[in-house]
Amino acid sequence: MAIQQNIRLSVDAVVFGYTARESISVLLIKRTIEPFLHSWALPGGFVRDHESLEEAVTRELQTESGVHINYLEQLYTFGLPSRDPRGRVVSVAHFALVNPTNFKLAASSDAEDAGWFNIKELPDLAFDHAGIIAEAVKRLRGKIRYQPIGFELLDKKFPIADLEKLYETLLDRPIDRRNFQKKMNHLGILIAHNETQKQLSQGRPAKLFSFNEKRYFQLMKDGIAFEV
Amino acid sequence: MAIQQNIRLSVDAVVFGYTARESISVLLIKRTIEPFLHSWALPGGFVRDHESLEEAVTRELQTESGVHINYLEQLYTFGLPSRDPRGRVVSVAHFALVNPTNFKLAASSDAEDAGWFNIKELPDLAFDHAGIIAEAVKRLRGKIRYQPIGFELLDKKFPIADLEKLYETLLDRPIDRRNFQKKMNHLGILIAHNETQKQLSQGRPAKLFSFNEKRYFQLMKDGIAFEV
DNA sequence: TCAAAAGTGTTATCGTTACACCCATGC
DNA sequence: GCATGGGTGTAACGATAACACTTTTGA
């Protein structure tokens, strides 16, 4: 009953990182093989016979860039027959969040180079990867409406302004500091610490906060009604 | 540069239908081939070399059951190496909505039988299809929080109570009729008609409504903040 | 002492919830 | 005329939005 198929399966990952200075960035790697040799592309590769999709993504991310993944979920499967010039390759795209300050990017064997690109200044990309990133950005922007966000992207302790800037970037509009703070307090996901940020600029030093993980993950499951 | 892979790709569809009497049901077909011969399973099958994933689902649904699809989106890709006893089969599951009154189910060549099953009374299912349905139900319940729902499931004209029952079923709790109506009016997605429902039970005949499609699809894109 | 960023509270508005009586129909 | 389901409004409450002055620090 074997059905002859000529379809190969790959995985790709859209890895988002965030820093208050650099805003939201995507991890890209420079290809070392044809097609699209020397083009920027999403990290990813072919799935092996005995590994799950998630194992495949994790392996590829490890070997291509050395990131520490904080969050990983499936995004969408891209299967147009024409998306890869080598023939039929269906790719299961994934969505990942990392904190870029937690590790050094390491372009290794499979990648000529690896780097962060602001989502508003992406280079030309291999295959349909620009479309995949567009979907991932949609997902990220969408998440904000029904899940808390930030834990996987920010440092363990952070000034509340960092979180606010993250929301402002994703929503692409200004937010009232006071109301934002009130709402976060109301959600109960922030824990205040008696520490202030080491000074990196002028102005009053900011108190540091961390997430109440229990409450955070509870709300992540239950969903929130949160319009900033 | 060909990489030898022994993975086959299939598609499956979780098709939801709704009637005020029968509540939310899933379309299942009875398998005519091994493995899981004579078991109930989701409609689906292998993707052909030159068709897109969506084409593959549509084709399978057509040949296996003859449904009229009103809405189709990708759900999730299931890729555990052990999910199919025949070997490695990765399945891209889809999520579909139909109005069961629009057509007659037709079990054809590929299916011994086809039928609707209430999501609370599912039979034993082939492969990991029970898990796939569970994911689809989650998606359906989730949608209600950020998208209008009903257009693809209900008749063109319907009494508002049908829509309310749909929400009550998905939310699994009672809803206040008056507040529900006010909220729907506020959203502006309902158009009242000067017709009443043909009597099928005792009581005052209900006014019929239809959806304001333009507004409906606008809100579907923009998202809604809607807590019933 | 000035510039920069952080901390903080009140009011008005809007949306949500809770709740009960009357109306049209079939039996 | 009674049982069944449909149609409709108001008041209390809670959440959201708008808005400005004071504090701490570095230069």
pLDDT digits over B81-97, tens only? 999 999 999 999 999 99
As a whole number of angstroms, the distance between CA A79 and CA B113 comes to 30
CB contact under 8 A, A52 and B92: no
> Shortest CB distance from A5 goes to which of B8, B53, B76?
B8
In whole angstroms, D7 C1' to B20 CA is: 20
What DSSP string describes A37-65? TT-EE-SEEEPPTTS-HHHHHHHHHHHHH
A176: CB partners within 8 A, 6+ apart: none
CA-to-C1' span, A192 to D25 (A):
20
Which chain B residues are Cβ-neighbours of A92 within 8 angstroms? Answer: 77, 79, 90
What is the tens place of the pLDDT at every residue in B58-67?
999 999 999 9
Q: Give pLDDT < 70 ranges for chain A.
A: 1-3, 107, 109, 225-228
- The residues spanned by each domain of chain B are 8-143, 158-222
**Percent of chain B predicted with pLDDT > 90:** 81
Q: Is the CB of A37 inside 8 Å of chain B's CB atoms? A: no
Instruction: Report pLDDT for A49.
Output: 95
pLDDT (0 to 100) of residue A104? 85
pLDDT at A214: 94
pLDDT bin (cut points 50, 70, 90) of residue B145 is: confident
Chain A residues in contact with B47 by the CB 8 A cut-off are 5, 7, 79, 90
Mean pLDDT to the nearest integer, B102-119: 83
**pLDDT attached to residue B200:** 72
Taking all residues of chain B, what is their mean pLDDT, rounded to a whole number? 93
What's chain B's length in residues? 228
Q: Measured between alpha carbons, how far is A212 from A148 in angstroms, rounded to an integer?
A: 11
pLDDT higher than threshold 70 for residue B41 = yes
Q: How confident is the model at residue B224 (pLDDT cuts 50, 70, 90)?
A: confident
Question: Is residue B144 within 8 Å of B167, Cβ to Cβ?
Answer: yes
Q: Is A52 on the interface with B (CB under 8 A)?
A: yes
Smallest CA–CA separation between B144 and chain A, in Å?
12
Question: Which of B7, B86, B227 lies closest to A9 in CB terms?
Answer: B7
The whole-number pLDDT of residue B21 equals 83
Count CB atoms within 10 A of the CB of residue A113.
Answer: 13
Q: What is the pLDDT of residue A110?
A: 73
Q: Is the pLDDT of residue B109 over 70?
A: no
Q: Buried (b) or exposed (e) across B78-99, using 16+ Cβ within 10 A? A: bbebebbeeebbbbbbbbbbbb
* 8-state DSSP, A125: B
Residue B143 CA: distances (Å) to CA of A65, B54, B170? 35, 21, 10
Comparing CA positions, the residue from B156, B123, B134, B152 lying closest to residue B220 is B152
Residue B222 structure tokens: 């923009």
Å between A227 CA and nearest CA of chain B:
8
pTM of the full structure: 0.94
Whether residue B2 has pLDDT greater than 60 = no
pLDDT value of position A3: 64
Chain A residues near residue B142 by CB distance under 8 angstroms? 146, 223
* pLDDT of B201 over the 80 cut: no
Nearest by CB: B8 against A3, A46, A223: A3
Q: In chain A, which residue's Cα lies nearest the Cα of B83?
A: A52
Topology of domain A158-222 in CATH is: Arc Repressor Mutant, subunit A (1.10.10)
| Res A88: pLDDT | 97
Tell me the average pLDDT across B24-52: 96
User: Which residues of chain A does B46 touch, with a Cβ-Cβ cutoff of 8 Å?
Assistant: 3, 5
A3, A59, A72: best to mutate for the B interface, most B CBs within 10 A = A3
Work out the average pLDDT over B73-86.
97
Domain B8-143: give its CATH code: 3.90.79.10
